[in-house]
Amino acid sequence: MGLHFKKLAKIGVVVTLVIFFPLLVRDRFLLAALTESGIWCLCAIGFAAVFRVGQISMGQAAFMAIGGYVAAIMASKGGIPIWLTLPAAGAAAALVACFLGLVVLRIGGLYFAIATLAFGEITTIISRNWADVTQGPSGIALPVPDDLSIGGLVISFSRSALPFYYLSALLVLVAGLIFWRLDRTRMGRITRSVAENDILSEHLGIHLMKYRVIMFTLAAFFTGVGGALYVHYLLWVGPPLFTGAQSFAVLMMCVVGGIGSSVTGPVLGALLLTISGTYMGILFEGLRPLSYGLLVLAVIWLLPQGVMDVKRVFARLAMPGTKGVK
């Protein structure tokens, strides 16, 4: 319980920091980068959840695309408010993931990685060519979300960038808490054993497929919500937004952050890569891809276990000769 208390205190500090950060630092670019980071955090947490059952999904952007297009079509055609499109987008992505998972998770391993990669390409091709629904390469423009009023408080998406920041932070918090708690339940232990040794787990009576599909579906839900939020934030959706490059980016974020944890690592990786990517775009312009790639390489080289591992590396530097705290 003591450990939990410490963890909860840490979460409290982080949440306070997130709430007051935009009031202290009034930097438009940083706020935009943080909002986008939140969206990528959702996807990275989803990827990590799938990795928790020992599978590597290389098509997470496909679920962002499904969520994004569902939200875009709902908002632009039906004028449905954002607080309804987000869960609907998540549900749509989860539904697709559930069916896809039931089919492709049977094979697992490297084949699953390639099958999801192929699925990602399929969604890109469909979004580019199914002009009746997705409007092809020109994409769909979205209206600015209507003002919400809760009690006397009016939340205006048109007047300030803050609502999107808080919305993405809130969603990351919800997703993070769910997956963090899940990791400490019976299901979390089961998923870890499935990742560690699926054959042994199966022989111990664990229904592999059940847990794989549950995690894949749950991950897709939050990834879909992330995609929808991204689309609402950019006010546009189109084929280049969610391609294989974005699926790869999610994978890079998780490994750069630290794949050993279910929430902290992916969140750190998404924050680091999105924020540095934004500033690289501003500072170096054309050199952004190069510097982005070099940053990822440098992190993997220096911290193979991800940014999360930085504490251990510092401990080793401070006390040479010891292995550092584990």
Partner 1 sequence: MPVGIWLDALVLSSIYVLMASGLVLVFSIMGIFNFAHGQFYMMGAYAVYCIFEKAGGGFFPGLVVAALTVGFIGVLVERMIYRTIAQPMQVVVASIAMISVFEGIITLVFGPSPKSVMSAFSGTIKAGGIALSMERAFTVIVAVGLMAGLYLFLNRTRLGLFIRASAQEPTAARLFGIHVARLGSLVMGIGCGLAALAGGIMAPIFYVDPWIGNTPLIMALLAIVIGGMGSLMGAVLGGILLGIIGSVGAYFVGFWSQLLAFTVVIAVLLVRPQGVFGFSEK
Residues that bind partner 1 (CB under 8 A): 56, 103-104, 106-107, 110-111, 114-115, 117-119, 121-122, 125-126, 129, 244, 248, 251-252, 255-256, 259, 286-294, 296-297, 300-301, 304
**Which among 325, 307, 304 is positioned nearest to 316, based on CA atoms?**
325
Cα–Cα dist 243/122, whole Å: 10
Would you tell me how many other CB atoms lie within 10 Å of the CB of residue 139?
21
**Which among 164, 130, 155, 174 is positioned nearest to 234, based on CA atoms?**
164
**Helix then strand then coil, % of the chain, to nearest 5:** 75, 5, 20
DSSP 120-187: HHHHHHHHHH-HHHH-GGG-EE-PPPPPEEETTEEE-TTT-SHHHHHHHHHHHHHHHHHHHHHHTSHH
Cα–Cα dist 92/98, whole Å: 10
- The residue (of 20 and 99) whose beta carbon lies closer to partner 1 is 99
- The residue (of 5 and 301) whose beta carbon lies closer to partner 1 is 301
- The residue (of 109 and 143) whose beta carbon lies closer to partner 1 is 109
Shortest CB 255 distance to partner 1, Å: 4
Cα–Cα dist 322/304, whole Å: 18
Q: At residue 192, what is the residue type? A: R
- The residue (of 31 and 253) whose beta carbon lies closer to partner 1 is 253
- The residue (of 190 and 273) whose beta carbon lies closer to partner 1 is 273
- The residue (of 31 and 36) whose beta carbon lies closer to partner 1 is 36
Cα–Cα dist 183/93, whole Å: 22
Q: At residue 74, what is the residue type? A: M
- The residue (of 163 and 266) whose beta carbon lies closer to partner 1 is 266
Shortest CB 268 distance to partner 1, Å: 15
- The residue (of 92 and 255) whose beta carbon lies closer to partner 1 is 255
Q: Using an 8 Å Cβ cutoff, are 228 and 86 in contact?
A: yes
Handedness of CA 241, 247, 250, 256 (dihedral sign): negative
Q: Using an 8 Å Cβ cutoff, are 255 and 269 in contact?
A: yes
